[in-house]
Amino acid sequence: MKAPKGTLSKVLRYVKKYSGLIVLSLLLAVVSVAFTLYIPLRIGDAIDCIVEAGKVDFDAIYPMLLQIGLLAAGVGLSQWLMNLTNNRITYLVVRDLRKDAIRKIQRLPLSYVDTHAYGDIVSRIVADADQFADGLLMGFTQFFTGILTILGTLVFLFLIHWIIAIAVVVLTPLSLFVAKFISSKTYRLFQRQSEERGKQTAFIDEMISSQKVVQAFTHEDENLAAFDEQNKELGKWALKATFFSSLTNPSTRFVNNVIYALVALFGGLFIILGGFGGAALTVGNLNSLLSYANQYTKPFNEITGVITELQGAFACAGRIFEFLEEKELSPEPDREMGEAEGSVALSHVSFSYVPEKPLIRDFNLSVTKGKRVAIVGPTGCGKTTLINLLMRFYDVNEGEIKVDGTEIRSVTRNSLRKNYGMVLQETWLKRGTVRENIAMGKPEATDEEIVAAAKAAHAHSFIKRLPQGYDTVLSEDALSAGQRQLLCIARVMLVLPPMLILDEATSSIDTRTELKIQEAFRTMMEGRTSFIVAHRLSTIREADVILVMKDGNVIEQGRHEELLRSAGFYSKLYHAQFES
C-alpha cells in the first residue's frame, strides 16, 4: 500500500522553510563523501609503492599517509557537523507539526473532540510525530550521502577500470528490486501498527483517568484482559512490520556481497592475465576497486533501509496530516461583540448531534436583561445542549440565537464568550498557582481583586491553609472536588460578565457552604442575565422563570409556585425529590 496521496508534498512544505540548513547539510555531505572516496585512491597508490620485500618507496608513502590522516579527520568533522544540522532540521520540522496540531485542537469543533478518543489524538501528536522524526532524520542523514556516494564511486570505478565498473552497475539494481518488493509490502503493516498504538494509548488514558471508578467496581481483571487483547493485537502487527522490514537489509547485503566477490575474482584475473582490452590493473588498483565496489553497494543497503523506515514514517505522517486536515469551525466574521446588556432570544431553533436523532426542535425562548432562568428536566432532555448552543460550542441546525438583537453567528466566538461567565459541574484547573487559576479570565487582575473574588466564593479560608497560599502550585490531587469547584466560582466572581451560566455549579459543595454560595450567587446575579441548570430543584425556587424541558422541548414554564400549583411535570419532579 502506498502512502496517502500528497503526503510527500505536505512533508516537503514543512521542510522547505529550512532550505538554508538543507543546503548546508548537502554541502557538508559533499565534503564528507569527496574526502571518503579519495582515501581508497591514495591507499591504492600507497600499496603500489610496495613492490616486493626490500623495495618499498617510503619517501612516497609518508606524504600519502599524512594526506590520508587529514582526509579522515575532515570526514569525521564534516559528518559531525552534518549530523548536527540534520538533527536541527528534523527538530524544527516536527516542532512545527506539533505546533500546528495544537493550534488545530483550538480550532476544531467540540463535535470532533467529543467523538474521538483523547488518547488517539495524543498518540498522533506525540508517538506518531516521534516516529516520523526518526524516519525523517534517517532520510536526511543517509539518503543524501548515499546518493552522493553512489555517483562519486561510479566516477572512480570508471576511471580505474571501465569493464569492472560496467559489471558493478549492471548487477547492483538486483538489490534495489529486492528492497522495493519488500518495502511495498510493509507500509500497510506500519500503518496498522500506528492505528493499534493509538487505540492502546486511548485505552490507557481512559483507564488511568478512571482508576477510582475501575477499582470501585472491581473492574481491574476485565481491564487487564482488554489491555492484554489490545497488546496482543499491537504486538502482532508490530512483529509483522518489523519482520518484513528487517528482511530488506540482509537480502540486499547478500546481493552486494556476491557483487563484491565477483569484482575480486575478475580483478584478480585481470592482474594475472595482464588486462583485457587494454584495461590493465595493479594490486593497488584492485584494492581501490574492491573498496569502491563495497562503498558503491553499501549506500543501496542504507537507502533501502531508509525507504523501509520511511514507510513507517509516512504512515505516521499520514495520520498527523489526516488530523490537521479535519474540518475546522466555521469561518469567523470580522465583527466583534461589545459588552452585552443581556437580552437573549432563541427563534425556531432546531439541533441534533446526530442527524437521525433529533434533539431540540422548533425551540423558542425570550429572556430579558437581568432575568434568572432556571432549566430543569430529566437526563438527556437537552439542558446542557441548550447551554452549548448559547455559548456557540455547537451551532444550531436551524433557526437563530440573538443577544441584544445580534445574531451570535455574525460575531466572533471569543467576543461572544467574553460576555458569559460559566461554572460547570465538571471542574477544570490548569497546572499553575491558585492565583493564576483564579485570574484566568482576567490576567491583569490585582491581588486585591483576586482575594476579593476568592472571599466572595468562600474559597479564601481554604486557600490560606494551603502551603504557599495563593502561590501554591496545584497538582492533580492537591484539592478536593468541592475546593476545585470553589476556585472555578471565584474565577467567574472576578470577571463578573453581563451573563452567567451555572450548570450544577454547587454539585460538589457541602450543604453549609452551598447556602453561602447561593447567597453570593444571588448578589452576583443582580442585574445579570443568568441561566441555571439544576437537578436539585430546591436551588432554583427564586428564579424569575423556570423552563421545564423534556425531549428537547419546553413543556412548561413559569415561577416555582405557579408550576407547583399547575400540578404538571415540574410538580411531579419536585415532589419526587422531596416526598418519601
Domain CATH code at residue 212: 1.20.1560.10
Q: What percent of the chain has pLDDT over 70?
A: 92
Assess whether 400 and 296 both reside in one domain: no
Is 6 within the bounds of a domain? no
Q: What value does the mean pLDDT take over residues 185-199?
A: 79
The per-residue pLDDT for 451 is 92
C-alpha of 579 from chain center = 52
Q: What percent of the chain has pLDDT over 90?
A: 5
Strand, helix or coil for residue 160: helix
Assess whether 482 and 408 both reside in one domain: yes
pLDDT surpassing 90 at residue 216: no
User: If pLDDT is split at 50, 70 and 90, which confidence band does 275 have?
Assistant: low
Assess whether 357 and 228 both reside in one domain: no
Is 330 within the bounds of a domain? no
The answer to whether the CB of 456 falls within 8 A of the CB of 490 is yes
Domain residue limits at 259: 11-324
C-alpha of 159 from chain center = 51
Is 200 within the bounds of a domain? yes
* Cα separation, 439 vs 451, whole angstroms: 10
Q: pLDDT: is 525 or 82 the higher one?
A: 82
The per-residue pLDDT for 2 is 47
Assess whether 286 and 352 both reside in one domain: no
Is 513 within the bounds of a domain? yes
- CATH code of residue 485: 3.40.50.300
One-letter-per-residue 3-state SS of 471-521? HCECCCCCCCHHHHHHHHHHHHHHHCCCEEEEECCCCCCCHHHHHHHHHHH
Q: pLDDT: is 517 or 21 the higher one?
A: 21
pLDDT surpassing 90 at residue 236: no
Q: What value does the mean pLDDT take over residues 275-298?
A: 73
Q: What value does the mean pLDDT take over residues 84-96?
A: 88
* Residue 456: CA count within 13 A, CB half-sphere: 22
Assess whether 77 and 224 both reside in one domain: yes
pLDDT in tens, 138-170: 777 777 788 888 888 888 888 887 888 887 888
Domain boundary among the residues 270, 294, 324 is at 324
Q: pLDDT: is 107 or 536 the higher one?
A: 107
Assess whether 206 and 150 both reside in one domain: yes
Assess whether 247 and 382 both reside in one domain: no
pLDDT in tens, 504-554: 766 667 777 777 777 777 777 888 888 888 766 666 777 888 888 887 777
Mean pLDDT (the chain, rounded): 82
* Cα separation, 168 vs 84, whole angstroms: 34
pLDDT surpassing 70 at residue 476: no
Assess whether 417 and 360 both reside in one domain: yes
- Sign of the torsion formed by the C-alpha atoms of 282, 72, 261 and 164: negative
Domain boundary among the residues 324, 357, 378 is at 324
Strand, helix or coil for residue 161: coil
Assess whether 353 and 272 both reside in one domain: no
Q: What value does the mean pLDDT take over residues 318-330?
A: 84
pLDDT surpassing 50 at residue 458: yes
Q: pLDDT: is 279 or 492 the higher one?
A: 492
Highest mean pLDDT among 49-63, 287-301, 489-503, 540-554: 489-503
Is 244 within the bounds of a domain? yes
What's the CA angle centered on 163, arms 61 and 284, to 5 degrees?
Answer: 15
User: If pLDDT is split at 50, 70 and 90, which confidence band does 225 have?
Assistant: confident
What's the CA angle centered on 128, arms 94 and 97, to 5 degrees?
Answer: 25
Is 336 within the bounds of a domain? no
Q: pLDDT: is 331 or 419 the higher one?
A: 419
Instruction: Spell 386-396 as b/e; 16+ CB within 10 A means b.
Output: bbbbbbbbbbb
* Cα separation, 156 vs 445, whole angstroms: 73
Assess whether 453 and 536 both reside in one domain: yes
Is 107 within the bounds of a domain? yes
The answer to whether the CB of 520 falls within 8 A of the CB of 493 is yes
Contacts of 337 (CB under 8 A, 6+ apart): 403, 406, 408, 411, 412, 415, 416, 418, 419
Q: What value does the mean pLDDT take over residues 261-280?
A: 71
Q: How many domains in the chain? A: 2
The per-residue pLDDT for 77 is 95
Q: What value does the mean pLDDT take over residues 467-478?
A: 81
pLDDT surpassing 90 at residue 70: yes
Strand, helix or coil for residue 176: helix
The per-residue pLDDT for 278 is 47
Q: pLDDT: is 303 or 497 the higher one?
A: 497
* Cα separation, 121 vs 283, whole angstroms: 61
Is 329 within the bounds of a domain? no
pLDDT surpassing 70 at residue 292: yes
Domain boundary among the residues 273, 296, 324 is at 324
Q: What value does the mean pLDDT take over residues 13-26?
A: 87
* Residue 579: CA count within 13 A, CB half-sphere: 6
Assess whether 218 and 286 both reside in one domain: yes
- Sign of the torsion formed by the C-alpha atoms of 128, 130, 131 and 135: positive
Assess whether 319 and 377 both reside in one domain: no
pLDDT surpassing 50 at residue 107: yes
Place of cell 456557540: 392
